[in-house]
Structures are given as structure tokens and as C-alpha cells.
Amino acid sequence: MTDDLVRITKENGIAFVSLNRPDKYNALNYELFKQIDRCIKTLARDKTLTAVVLFGEGGNFSSGLDVKSVMSSPLDAVKLLFKFLPGNANLAQRVSIGWRRLPVPVIAVLEGICYGGGMQIVLGADFRIAAPDCKMSIMEAKWGLVPDMAGLAGLRELMPKDQALMLTMSADVISAEKALSMNLITAVEDNPMAAASKLASKLSQTSPDANAAIKRSINKSWSAPVRLLLGRESWYQVRLLLGKNRVIAALRQTKKPDKTYRNRQSGW
């Protein structure tokens, strides 16, 4: 699948998704928001998908919101923020939290600059691998705004509250090494795309049903009451035990290491 502003290529079950607005440092205009949202929905329907690698074209992930473009159309701004119920995700939030809801590992490759809305998007990924010269910032406070793209769902799991407050209130631009020391990113690599591709291939060797269950269990249970955690673990385990991929996983560890997994179960 190829869109003007979002490109998707697929190799061996891994989707490589790129933001394709390099002349604007992949700044987020309304159309790019829509295409990211559409991309996530397309990937969610693909039962053959095993992992996603997310990156920006042109050597930058994203400079954040294209304020001039979005504000030039008040209707587009309204459509970005509109929701029927407060607890639902609007379009601006779905481009971040949507990656968390995909039942496969999502790995973000951070190069160049990753500011504001770009940082909110990668906080929705499961892993963030940055180039040594990458610069990052949660920049909304600079414009007198609160981060409102659901990135906090990931941020609160990554660092202590005081560090999150400092990073968000100051709007400081930080280096990749600093981001790593704060646990904002997973790793710093000289070739982050190669590292992300290698990790995606490695994770694709695990049962797609197990990966889906692990991701959902951890995301839903990370701060949940223990009783809900215990119940969720048991229910997911029953589903896995009854599935064909659990048998295939056992065969791959013993008699048939090249045995191919079935497509991911529905319902994850």
C-alpha cells in the first residue's frame, strides 16, 4: 500500500511504514494525520503482519505539528480534536495510541529531529531506536499548550513523574544519549534502521498470537489492579493453549525449527 504522505512496504511479514513529507521535515498536517490513522487501521486488519518498523523519510522523524497548515483551516483543527465522548481517542490521539493498540510489536526509528507531535507518535511505539545525533523534545509547552496526542499513555510507563514533568514543562531539546539515560528511548544505534529491522525479524520468530497476548497483557495490566492482571493472564493463556500457533511454537523448539506459524488469531 502506498499513500502520498504515508508509505507502507512489507517484507516477510514486517511492515515498514514511513512518514513521507521530507521537504517539511515530516511535519504533521491534517492530511498526514488522516493517512497515519488510515495506515494503522489497514495494518490492524492484516492477520499476516508480524511487526512494524516506523520511520521518517529524508533523515528526520518529524518536526511536529505543522501549525501554519492546520491553523489555516479552522475546520481541519476541529476535525483533529473532535470526539463524541471524552474518553474516546480523537484523530490527533489515534496516531499515537493506535500503535499501542496494534497486536504486533511496533519499533520506531528516530533520526534527525523528533519534536512535539512526532515525539507523541513514537511514544505510542513499543520500542524506540535512535541515531546518536537525533534530537528530541516534548515541545507543546513552548507554544503554551499541553501535550494532547495520547503520548502520556506511554510516557508515564517509561520514567518517574518528576522527570516527565521536567521534560514536558521545560520543552527542552535533548540528545539521544540524554533520552536513553531518562529511559525515553530503548537504544541508541549508529544504524537505527538496521537495528530496528534486526529486532523486528527476531520478534517475528515468536508466535504472533503470543506476541499479541503479551503486548495486550502488559499494556492493559501495567498499572491495573492485581486481580484484573491475574484474570487477564489466565484468559489469554487459555486462548493460546487452544490455538495452533502454540503447538507450532513447541515444534519449532524441538523437531521442526522451520515450521511456519499460522496467521494471527482474530480478536487480539
Same domain as 126, residue 183: yes
Is the residue at 264 inside a domain? Answer: no
Q: How many domains does the chain have?
A: 2
Angle at alpha carbon of residue 19, lines to 132 and 152, rounded to 5°: 70
For residues 144 and 244, membership in a common domain is answered with no
Q: Is residue 95 part of a domain?
A: yes
Residue 46: the pLDDT is 98
The per-residue pLDDT for range 19-43, each reduced to its tens digit, is 999 999 999 999 999 999 999 999 9
The C-alpha atoms of residue 2 and residue 60 are separated, in whole angstroms, by 20
140 residue type, one letter: E
- pTM as predicted: 0.95
- Same structural domain, 111 and 156: yes
Distances (CA, A) of 106 to 81, 166, 197, 256: 25, 27, 11, 28
Question: Residue 55 phi/psi, 5° resolution?
Answer: -155, 175
Q: Per-residue pLDDT averaged across 57-69, rounded? A: 94
CB atoms within 10 A of CB 222: 11
Closest CA to 134 of 69, 202, 197, 186: 186
Same domain, 45 and 141: yes
Same domain, 116 and 228: no
In a domain, 212, yes or no: yes
Average pLDDT along the chain: 96
Could you tell me if residue 103 is inside a domain? yes
- Can you list the alpha helix ranges (DSSP code H) found in 128-191? 152-158, 161-170, 176-181
pLDDT tens digits for range 104-135 = 999 999 999 999 999 999 999 999 999 999 99
pLDDT band with cut points at 50, 70 and 90 for residue 75: confident
Q: What are phi and psi of 215, to 5 degrees?
A: -65, -45
What is the mean predicted confidence (pLDDT) over 92-99?
98
Confidence (pLDDT) at 2: 47
Query: Do the domain assignments include residue 65?
Result: yes
Query: Is 265 a domain residue?
Result: no
Q: Which domain holds residue 233?
A: 208-253
Q: Is residue 266 situated within a structural domain?
A: no
